[in-house]
Amino acid sequence: MGTRDRIEIEDDLDRMAERAANLFLNAAKEKVDRQGRFAVALSGGSTPRPMFRLLSQDPYAAEIPWHSTHIFWVDERMVPFDHPDSNFGAAKEDFLDTISIAPDHLHPMPTWTKPEEGAEIYEAELKAYFDRFGDGFPIFDLILLGVGNDGHTASLFPGQRSLGETQRRVLNVKGGEPDLPRLTLTLPVLNRGKEVVFLVSGKKKASLLQAILQHKDPRLPARMVQPSSGELTWILDREAASLLNEEVIHG
């Protein structure tokens, strides 16, 4: 199957956070130097939060070109932003409230409306941003993803119809932990990312990672992320990578 997995293994979640924050910083600088703008899509869940907290501190807070950065989300739970399950709320608390970024550079998914409407509104928001650059379909410079215990990524859950979507950029779905109505970017958006990075940590995810990276189980949504011309990187900690064989790790 398609894209090559580049696997990086760090000692623990703190080292992963540092690696991911550096990757964010480098991608932002490089893209802003080259094209004058940087568009990133962030994931929810607990794994990226130590990285988010680093982004609120120097050197990241000072050196990331926030003035040319636009931040979107790969998925969101349909709860108010001040709810503990809100992905936007978590990022706000972790770094968005601290950094110097213009409010109109933040693109949270709309949760104040009905889910179907929310998906349409966000689709229009993506269009409004990306169409200015003639890209048509959204092409993110960097997409950060996680993997849930059932192999889901963003809010694309195993066996759901959303996995077959080819036209829509955003869908409303239901599932996950917490089991809530959610909005999610679709595979055609994730697979157009220029740089797609999964962050996965902990022993609990070791056999799942083996299924994704070693057995390449095509039914797992995380395995369906195969950027057509972008790079696919997995930043793992030792525990999450503990069941992978050498051949998989070194490609």
Using CB under 6 A, list all residues that contact ligand 6PG: 43-47, 74-75, 87, 146-148, 152-155, 176
Give least dist CB 148 to ligand 6PG, A: 3
Give least dist CB 221 to ligand 6PG, A: 9
Copy the structure tokens of residue 30. 């490089």
Q: Which is nearer to ligand 6PG, 10 or 75 (CB)?
A: 75
Three-state SS for 161?
Answer: helix
Q: Which is nearer to ligand 6PG, 69 or 153 (CB)?
A: 153
Give least dist CB 176 to ligand 6PG, A: 5
Helices (H) and strands (E) in the chain, counts: 8, 10
Sorted by sequence, the CB contacts under 8 Å of residue 131 that are 6+ apart come out as: none
- CA dist 162 and 173 (Å) reads 8
Q: Which is nearer to ligand 6PG, 45 or 89 (CB)?
A: 45
> Is 145 within 8 Å of 224 (Cβ atoms)?
no
Copy the structure tokens of residue 129. 């941003």
Give least dist CB 45 to ligand 6PG, A: 3
Q: Give the rounded distance of the alpha carbon of 213 from its chain centre.
A: 18
Give least dist CB 237 to ligand 6PG, A: 12
Give least dist CB 248 to ligand 6PG, A: 21
Pairing status of strand 231-237 against strand 5-10: parallel
Q: Which is nearer to ligand 6PG, 107 or 152 (CB)?
A: 152
Query: Looking at this protein, which amino acid is placed at residue 158?
Result: P
Q: Which is nearer to ligand 6PG, 9 or 41 (CB)?
A: 41
Q: Which is nearer to ligand 6PG, 37 or 111 (CB)?
A: 111
Phi and psi at residue 47, to the nearest 5°: -60, -40
Using left for φ > 0, alpha for ψ between -120 and 50, and beta otherwise, residue 176 falls in left
Copy the structure tokens of residue 106. 């933040």
